[in-house]
Structure formats: C-alpha cells, structure tokens
C-alpha cells in the first residue's frame, strides 16, 4: 500500500441536505490507476467510525452513485464515511472499472492500488477504523469489489457484489464477455484458488461477502451469483449449502451461509424478475433508500440489508433468520386522523411491532392495528415486523403509504430529475412521467421544471400554473 500525500479538497465541498459533506479529495497517493476520489462524511462523524467504499457501474460517475445508491442515507443513520472512487473514459471508453485486466485489478497495481490509497487517505482524514472497512460495487464496480476483496483481505472486513462478477474471473479484456454470459465450469475449489492466489501470504480471516443478483439480468447473467457463492464459501471453508433461508420484500430471497461458529460469512440475495442494476427502494422507511434512475431499480433497498449484514447498524450482523417479514400489508384511512392496518399472520409470532415513517408507534398481538392522532391530508409510511416468544424481532415488511383525508392537495415544483428522485415521477428511455397519472413531463433532467399536484396516495398530475 502506497503512502498517501496530504489530501486537499479540489473543489468546494457540497453540503448535503442531511447536513453531511460530499467533496472531491486530491493528493491521495501515487494513484497508478488514474482514478478520482470523492467522499461523503455525515455531520459530526466521530473518530473510529467504519468506512465504506462504493464503486459505480459503467456509464456512471461517483456523483451518480452518491445521489442514487442510498449509501449516504445509512452513513447518516449509522455513522460512517463513504468513499466514491471514479474512473473515466481515459481509462475505459465506457467509464468502466477494469475488473478484467490483470495489470489494473491486482494487489499493488493499477486501479486496485488507487482504491486502497483512497482508503489510507480516508482513514487519516476521518479517523476511520481500519478494522471496519468495507467495499461494495455495481456491475463492473461489483467485479472490481470482488477483486479488491481477494487482493486486499487484510484491508477489507467485508464486501458486497451487486450484479457483479467473481473475483479474477477474467484476466484479459477478451475474456470478460465470457465471464458475464456463460458458466465457466469451475469447481468451488478452483474459484477459491483465484482468491487465494491474489494474496498468497494471507491465511485469514476472510471478508464477509454479500452477493446481490437479479434473476432476469441479461447483462451479467445469474450464473455469476452462483459462482460467487461457490468462490467465497470455499474461501471461508464452508459448504455451498445455505444454513438458513427467508423471503424478503421485493420478491427477494436471502440465503445465509454460516461458518463453524454459526456466524453468517456469505449471503446470497436473489431478486425475482429484476434486470441489471442496483436494487434500491426510495422512501422514508427504515428499510428504504436510494433513488430510481438508469441501473438503479426500485425493488428492495440492498444497502439496508448489506449494512446490517456487515454489522454497521451496531449489531454483529445476522446470526439467525428470525421470523419472516409479514406480507400482505395494507393501510387505509379510518377517518381524518387515523389509519387502519392489516396483514397476514406470521407463524410463531407472539406479537407485532408497527412502524410509522421508520419509528415504532405501537404493538399488537393480532394482524391488525389502528394508528390514531394523525394529521389530516398527510401521507404516512407504515411497516410491520413480527416478534417471537423469546422477544426476538423478525424482518420488517416493505413499507406501504397512505394519505389521511382532508387538507389541501400538495403541490411540488422541481426539475424532472428531482421529481424522480423524490418518488413523484418515473423515468423511462430518458423521458419523465408523473407517478400514477402517467402524464408525460418531457426530458429527465434538472432543466425541465414542472409543478405536480398530489391528488391521492402515489398519484400525481401536472399542475403548471395551477398551484
């Protein structure tokens, strides 16, 4: 690892709405990979906090990942810094990280070395805990994250590979397509050997690895998730058979692979029907995050479950599957100031906890609850979790929103990009459409400005000049 020069800000830091700071950092080392370093730090970040490195996909930038991935939301909530490395067209015509090039993705060279120099700089700048450094990435960023975990298991305590590739699957650009699209026919031991060969002197411990994959991904085929599972369970010395499984929101299945001590070392999350991208779920609930956009797909907040798997929420990560998340949650107004909730009962549940906008507001022993004392004409988000007889809390359901009757309709004036980020509109093919009504709003960017009126839960109409 190269020594980092004294870092300085290359641009005026940008204040985040939550009070944190996003900025570019220069002078972070020899930088043999010709990367740019950006960082986000929450307000009041204490020394000794964890550090997360988040790698963007092709045709993306550090700013895209900062805005849409959701990682800054958990940095604010749990208290850690985030480093956003950025590559560009000089390195790769599509601004992809070169996960497939042995001269750029190996220990001590190229882009891999540049990322680790960023880690060293961030540790010095923010006083980050060197024993709690994690790396995550999407697509090519996921492939590079896997390489970094193999190259530097002495640096990274854990990783997450989202729609990505096994570590060192390809060592030349010509081999990259085969890795993305076809089964390489390797045994778990052969996959594990690729990791062990990346840093032969390392004997452990090995990073804790989360794998995220959409079942309908045609860019990085689902076989890559299987190969990743085989690779990292072999490295951990455990069988590629799950020790527990459960269903999560967004059509997601979770498989945990525990080590001899019963501590999950590998997690495989498969999202039914999802294509190529990072799983996000915009909203204000505790298990929601991110913003939709190109390759940011609204299914489930992968950052939430990854952060918990790593133990960034203050725990040590999941030790057992617990009770599954309640399904079938509905919410309906029961008057101007109340909402009635209902859901399907969970086997072995002794009670349920009810959350409004991320905070617990009550509990009940049956699969229904009425929340009272609410403001009229206001939208609320609800989720429910089951509790077993021992008091152990299970997984939280997905969030549903409901608007209490009364009050004047709300109007929002903003650029199309911000409407999409706020969940008031969607985008497809570079165009923007009002959520619910589907009215066309023009190009998806910050320069086209419209006023949207919310006329019901999740329903917006164009109201330029009317509010």
DSSP string, 368-403: EEEE-SPPTT-EEEEEEEEE-TT--EEEEPPPEEEE
What is the Cα–Cα distance from 282 to 348, expressed in whole angstroms?
31
CA distances from 20 to 74, 82, 358 (A): 12, 11, 20
Residues sharing a CB contact under 8 Å with residue 230, sequence separation 6 or more, in sequence order: 186, 187, 188, 191, 192, 240
Q: List active site positions.
A: 139
The residue whose two tokens read 């960082």 is: 39
The greatest distance separating any two alpha carbons of the chain, rounded to the nearest whole angstrom, comes to 68
Residues sharing a CB contact under 8 Å with residue 292, sequence separation 6 or more, in sequence order: 68, 280, 282, 298, 420, 421, 423, 426, 427
Q: Enumerate the β-bridge partners of residue 431.
A: 428, 443
H or E stretch at 420: helix 416-421
Nearest alpha-carbon partner for 287 in 259, 306, 263: 306
Residues sharing a CB contact under 8 Å with residue 332, sequence separation 6 or more, in sequence order: 339, 340, 402
Nearest alpha-carbon partner for 49 in 132, 115, 125: 132
Return the half-sphere exposure (C-beta side, CA atoms, 13 A cut-off) of residue 270. Answer: 16
The C-alpha angle with vertex 282 and arms to 280 and 288, in degrees rounded to 5, equals 75
What is the Cα–Cα distance from 244 to 180, expressed in whole angstroms?
28
Residue 399, φ and ψ in degrees, nearest 5: -90, 135
Helix (H/G/I), strand (E/B), else coil: 390: coil
Helix (H/G/I), strand (E/B), else coil: 74: helix
What is the Cα–Cα distance from 450 to 415, expressed in whole angstroms?
6
CA distances from 39 to 61, 65, 83, 137, 142 (A): 13, 11, 4, 15, 19
Residue 459, φ and ψ in degrees, nearest 5: -130, 120
What is the Cα–Cα distance from 244 to 137, expressed in whole angstroms?
25
């Amino acid at each position: 690892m190269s020594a980092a020069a004294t870092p300085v800000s290359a641009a005026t830091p940008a204040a985040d709405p939550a009070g944190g700071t996003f900025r570019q950092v220069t002078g972070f080392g020899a930088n043999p990979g010709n990367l740019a370093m950006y960082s986000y730090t929450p307000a009041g970040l204490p020394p000794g906090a964890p550090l997360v490195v988040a790698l963007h996909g092709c045709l993306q930038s550090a700013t895209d990942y900062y805005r849409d991935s959701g990682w800054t939301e958990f940095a604010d909530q749990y208290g850690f810094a985030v480093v956003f490395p950025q590559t560009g067209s000089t390195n790769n015509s599509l601004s992809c990280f070169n996960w497939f090039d042995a001269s750029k993705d190996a220990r001590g060279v190229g882009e891999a070395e540049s990322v680790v120099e960023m880690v060293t700089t961030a540790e010095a700048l923010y006083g980050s805990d060197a024993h709690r450094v994690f790396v995550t990435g999407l697509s090519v960023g996921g492939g590079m994250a896997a390489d970094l975990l193999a190259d530097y298991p002495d640096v990274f305590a854990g990783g997450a590979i989202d729609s990505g590739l096994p570590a060192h699957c390809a060592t030349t650009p010509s081999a990259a397509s085969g890795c993305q699209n076809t089964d390489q026919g390797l045994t778990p031991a052969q996959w594990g050997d690729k990791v062990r060969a990346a840093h032969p002197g390392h004997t452990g411990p090995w990073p804790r690895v989360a794998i995220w994959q959409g079942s309908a991904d045609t860019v990085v085929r689902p076989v890559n998730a299987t190969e990743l599972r085989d690779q990292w369970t072999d490295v951990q010395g455990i069988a590629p058979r799950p020790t527990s499984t459960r269903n999560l929101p967004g059509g997601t299945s979770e498989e945990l692979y525990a080590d001899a001590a019963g501590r999950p070392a590998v997690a495989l999350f498969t999202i039914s029907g999802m294509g190529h991208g990072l799983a996000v779920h915009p909203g204000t609930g505790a298990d929601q995050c991110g913003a939709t956009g190109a390759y940011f797909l609204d299914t489930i907040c992968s950052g939430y479950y990854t952060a918990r798997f790593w133990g960034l929420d203050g725990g040590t990560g999941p030790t057992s599957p617990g009770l599954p998340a309640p399904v079938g949650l509905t919410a309906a107004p029961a008057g101007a100031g109340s909402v009635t909730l209902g859901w399907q009962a969970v086997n072995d549940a002794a009670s349920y906890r009810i959350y409004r906008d991320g905070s617990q507001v009550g509990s009940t022993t049956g699969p229904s609850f009425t929340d009272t004392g609410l403001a009229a004409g206001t939208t609320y988000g609800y989720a429910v979790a089951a509790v077993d007889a021992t008091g152990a809390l299970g997984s939280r359901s997905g969030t549903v929103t409901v608007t209490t009757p009364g009050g004047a309709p709300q109007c929002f004036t903003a650029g199309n990009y911000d409407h999409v980020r706020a969940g008031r509109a969607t985008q497809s093919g570079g165009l923007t459409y009002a959520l619910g009504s589907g009215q066309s709003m023009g190009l998806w960017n910050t320069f086209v400005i419209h006023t949207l009126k919310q006329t019901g839960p999740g329903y917006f109409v164009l109201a330029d000049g009317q509010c």
